[in-house]
Amino acid sequence: MHITIKYFGQIAEITQKGEESLEFSGALISELMEQLYEKYVPLKDKDFKVAQNQELVPLETQVSGNEIALLPPFAGG
């Protein structure tokens, strides 16, 4: 499956990009994260949440093919 992942804040600093498309053959968000940890090792030490289709989701969620985003701690206001 072809999926688009968006990165923000300090996560985007690590990935050096705001967005990318990649090929994913697993099922769960947690498997996708494993794939990303291999690609971006420093990500493992970072605090972030995952959103799918603009809602925060737990790691056990099925990847639906909608937009995925890695969100570091919020700092609005």
Partner 1 sequence: MKDKKIKNVFRQGAISSEFIGESIYKHQTKTSIGAHNIFLGQVRADIIDDKTVSAIEYTAYEDMANAKFHDIREAAFEKFELTCMHIYHSLGTVKAGEICLFVFVSSPRRKVVFEALEFIVEAIKADVPVFGKEIFEDESHQWKVNT
Q: Which is nearer to partner 1, 58 or 73 (CB)?
A: 73
We find the least distance from the C-beta atom of residue 71 to partner 1, in angstroms, to be 5
If you search the block for the tokens 């605090």, which residue do you land on?
47
Adjacency order of strands within the sheet including 2-7: 19-23, 2-7, 68-71, 49-52, 55-56
User: How far from each other are the two terminal CA atoms of the chain, in whole angstroms?
Assistant: 37
Q: Which is nearer to partner 1, 19 or 34 (CB)?
A: 19
| DSSP classification of residue 19 | E
We find the least distance from the C-beta atom of residue 11 to partner 1, in angstroms, to be 9
Site residues (CB under 8 A) for partner 1? 6, 8-10, 51, 54, 69, 71-77
Q: Which is nearer to partner 1, 10 or 62 (CB)?
A: 10
